[in-house]
Amino acid sequence: MELALHPVIHTKYGREAETLDLVMQHMPHAPLPQLDLTIGTTAKWHHVEMTFEEADRLRACLNEFIAQGREYARPDSVASLRELVDYCGARIVEHGSDVKGFFGHAVGDTRQGGPVWVTVPHGTAGPRLEDRVKHLLAEIHETQRELTAQDGSTVREAGAPPELPSWPAGQAAA
């Protein structure tokens, strides 16, 4: 089982999301399989081996944590994506190509009520699109990170923009 986690980090290998790997293997002559849990990126990994008893305790903690989250959550009290996009003046754009490690980017002048541009990965749709856009809009409105645009106005940014394509040497861009 492998899960991609956020945030995307910069490593010497480029931008990468952290991953969580859960592996079970039965070694020869061992009475029970071995469970391994690993989290990290290619730059740095953290690894733990678990017994079945430890895995059962972890599962119980996760089940309790998930149950509390479901009890706390009130999805019917959250604005729909359409309502949120209209309220924030957001414009959603799909990035034209698949870029590894790109999870979305938003930029805009939120203090002046100006539009917010949200760029999402190619092929993002349905609940994943809704979650991604809502996350980026929440982050852009809550973050204090401000940038100065070329025209001198102040804008806010959330996420990381997709990296520009690299052109082979000696070829011009179309």
Model pTM score: 0.51
- The β-bridge partners of 142 are none
pLDDT at 2: 56
Tens-digit pLDDT profile for residues 142-165: 765 666 666 766 777 777 777 765
d(CA 95, CA 119): 6
d(CA 20, CA 166): 30
- The β-bridge partners of 92 are 118
pLDDT at 63: 94
pLDDT at 102: 78
Tens-digit pLDDT profile for residues 13-72: 666 667 788 888 888 888 888 888 888 877 778 888 888 888 899 899 999 999 998 888
d(CA 168, CA 166): 7
pLDDT at 46: 86
Tell me the DSSP string of 83-109.
Answer: HHHHHHTEEEEE-SS--TT---EEEE-
- The β-bridge partners of 44 are none
Tens-digit pLDDT profile for residues 57-107: 989 999 999 999 888 887 777 778 888 888 778 888 888 777 777 778 888
